[in-house]
C-alpha cells in the first residue's frame, strides 16, 4: 500500500509539473501572438517611432528641472520656461487642427516631427556653450564604485528647499551667482519650442492614424502593446539617468535622447514610404471626409452593395 501511495504521489507531482509547463508555454505563445499582431500592422513603423520618442530627457519633468536648478536657474525662471513650453503646446494643438483639416493627418505628423527636430539641435549645441558642465572624460577618470553608489543613493534622498538661498542673475553677462547660464538657458528654450511639434502634433497625428488604420477587433491588443512600448522606453530613460547621474554627463543623455528622436523620425518616414500608394490621406473638409480610411471605404462598399441588392429586388 505504501508503494502504491508513493507512486501515486510521484504521478501527481509529474502531472503538476507537466501542467505548469503547458501553462507557461501557453502564456509565452499568447505573448508572442500579441507582439506578432502589433508587428504585422501597417502602422507598425509609425507607432514604434512614436514609442522611441519616450526615450528622452528633453522634457519638462523632474530631470530637466533638476538639471536647470543645478546650473543656477531660479525657480521663477524655470516656471517661466515651463510656461513657454505650455504655450508652445497650445499653439501645437491649434496648428494640428488646422493642418489636419487642410493637408491630412499623415503630412501633419511629418511636419510635427520636423518642427521637433530643429529645436532639439539647439539642445545639442547647448552642450558646448559657455556654462556647460559637460566633461564626461574627467568624470569617468574620477569615477569609483563607492562614489557612484553614493550618487545613486543621493538620487533617492529628499533634500528640503533652502528658502533663504537667493539666486542673482546678471542679464548683462548672462551669469547666475557668477556662473554662466547660456548653456542651460539654450537647452531649456530648445525643450520648450520642441513641444510645439512633438507633444501636440506628432503624438496626435500618429495616434489618429492608429485609430483609423488598426482593425477594430485588434485595437485593444495593438494599443496595449503600444502603451507598454512607450512605458518601456520611459523606464529605460530613467535607468539611463540613474547610471549617469552627474551634471558632467548630462550632455551624453542629451545626445542619446536626440538620437532616439531621429530614429523615431526615420521610422515614421519608413511608414510614409511603405504606405505611399495607399489612398489614406485622411484629408478632411468641414462637411465631409475627402479621403477616407480603409475602414470608411469598406463601409461605403457595404452601402453600395446594399443599394445594388435593393435595385435587383425592385427589378
Task: Report CA torsion sign: 153, 154, 155, 158.
Answer: positive
Q: Which DSSP state fits 129?
A: S
pLDDT of residue 312: 52
pLDDT of residue 225: 94
- Local confidence pLDDT in tens for the 315 residues of the chain: 445 455 555 555 566 666 667 777 787 888 888 889 999 999 999 999 999 999 999 988 888 998 999 898 888 899 999 999 999 988 988 899 899 989 999 999 999 999 988 999 999 999 999 999 999 888 888 878 887 777 766 666 655 555 555 677 878 888 888 889 999 999 999 999 998 887 678 888 999 999 999 999 999 999 999 999 999 999 999 999 988 888 999 999 999 999 999 999 999 999 999 988 764 444 443 333 334 444 444 444 444 555 555 555 555
Sequence-ordered list of residues with C-beta below 8 angstroms from that of 35, at least 6 positions apart, any chain:
225
Cell of 228: 507598454
Rounded to an integer, what distance in angstroms lies between the CA atom of residue 287 and that of residue 303? 20
pTM attached to this predicted model: 0.78
Amino acid at each position: 500500500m505504501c508503494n502504491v501511495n508513493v507512486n501515486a504521489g510521484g504521478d501527481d507531482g509529474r502531472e503538476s509539473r507537466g501542467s505548469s509547463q503547458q501553462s507557461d508555454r501557453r502564456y509565452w505563445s499568447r505573448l508572442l501572438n500579441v507582439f506578432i499582431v502589433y508587428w504585422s500592422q501597417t502602422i507598425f513603423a509609425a507607432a514604434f517611432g512614436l514609442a522611441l520618442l519616450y526615450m528622452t530627457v528633453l522634457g519638462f519633468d523632474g530631470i530637466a528641472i533638476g538639471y536647470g536648478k543645478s546650473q543656477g536657474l531660479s525657480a521663477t525662471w524655470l516656471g517661466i520656461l515651463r510656461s513657454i513650453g505650455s504655450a508652445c503646446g497650445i499653439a501645437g494643438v491649434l496648428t494640428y487642427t488646422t493642418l489636419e483639416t487642410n493637408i491630412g493627418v499623415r503630412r501633419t505628423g511629418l511636419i510635427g516631427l520636423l518642427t521637433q527636430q530643429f529645436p532639439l539641435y539647439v539642445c545639442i549645441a547647448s552642450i558646448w556653450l559657455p556654462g556647460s558642465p559637460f566633461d564626461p572624460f574627467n568624470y569617468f577618470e574620477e569615477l569609483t564604485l563607492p562614489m557612484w553608489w553614493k550618487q545613486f543613493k543621493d538620487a533617492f534622498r529628499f533634500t528640503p528647499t533652502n528658502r533663504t538661498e537667493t539666486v542673482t542673475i546678471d542679464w548683462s553677462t548672462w551669469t547666475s551667482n557668477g556662473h554662466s547660464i547660456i548653456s542651460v538657458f539654450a537647452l531649456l528654450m530648445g525643450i520648450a519650442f520642441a513641444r510645439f511639434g512633438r507633444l501636440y502634433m506628432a503624438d496626435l497625428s500618429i495616434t489618429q492614424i492608429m485609430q483609423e488604420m488598426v482593425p477594430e477587433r485588434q485595437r485593444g491588443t495593438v494599443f496595449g502593446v503600444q502603451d507598454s512600448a512607450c512605458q518601456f522606453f520611459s523606464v529605460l530613460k530613467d535607468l539611463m539617468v540613474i547610471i549617469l547621474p552627474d551634471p558632467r554627463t548630462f550632455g551624453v543623455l542629451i545626445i542619446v535622447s536626440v538620437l532616439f528622436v531621429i530614429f523615431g523620425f526615420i521610422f515614421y518616414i519608413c511608414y510614409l514610404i511603405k504606405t505611399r500608394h495607399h489612398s489614406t490621406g485622411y484629408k478632411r473638409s468641414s462637411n465631409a471626409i475627402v479621403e477616407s480610411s480603409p475602414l470608411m471605404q469598406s463601409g461605403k462598399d457595404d452601402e453600395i452593395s446594399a443599394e445594388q441588392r435593393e435595385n435587383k429586388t425592385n427589378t
